[in-house]
Amino acid sequence: MNTALAQDPDALRVNLTAPTTQVRLGPFQFDGLKALIGMDLADALAPMMIGPRVQRTGPNGVVDVYPLAIPDGEGLSIPVKFVGEVGFYNLRSLLVLVIPPALVEVVGEQLAAELASGDARGPRLNTSPSGASVMEFALRLRPGMRKVVPLGKFGEIGLEAG
């Protein structure tokens, strides 16, 4: 946990929700999300975490909730097998979502109201540092805003503004 980052007034505060994919059978355990992205999500998010990861049950199943503070100019991008790259970064108090081109329609539907009001812009084609083609949406967060992509029985992936 990064307690100093929790005091940064320019950091965007969000809760990232992701499916809980860890399965334990006696001494054996398997984490589907870890297998998909090649790393433990909590380890990748650790520099921006301002509290412990917690689990929550909601309408889309059990999810892990990661409390984050994203400093201006910082973010995270993770290559995801078979899909491309997903991530986010803080661009002068705008949250920029980085997604594979295949997810543009799904994310655009979630941001329809913000795109119509001008609180979001995109999609914009870009190239990630790894060379992958990605699409970006820039979003001005409002306190209490919640944007979720349901993943059926696997839970959800989403953001909740603090």
User: Over the stretch 26-40, which tens digit does the pLDDT of each residue have?
Assistant: 787 766 666 666 677
What's the pTM?
Answer: 0.84
- Alpha-carbon distance of 112 to 118, in angstroms, equals 10
84-91 sheet: strands from edge to edge: 75-80, 84-91, 94-99, 133-139, 120-127
Over residues 15-26, mean pLDDT? 79
| pLDDT of res. 81 | 67
Considering only residues 130 and 99, tell me which one the structure prediction assigns the higher pLDDT: 99
In the 3-class helix/strand/coil scheme, how is the chain assigned residue by residue? CCCCHHHCCCCEEEEEEEECCEEEECCEEEEHHHHHHCCCHHHHHHHHECCCCEEEEECCEEEEEEEEEECECCEEEEEECCCEEEEEEEECCEEEEEECHHHHHHHHHHCHHHHHHCCEEEEEEEECCCCCEEEEEEECCCCCCEEEEECHHHCEEEEEEC
Query: CA nearest 80: which of 19, 124, 138?
Result: 19
Encode pLDDT of 74-98 as tens digits. Answer: 998 887 766 778 889 999 999 999 9
| pLDDT of res. 117 | 96
* pLDDT at 106 > cutoff 70: yes
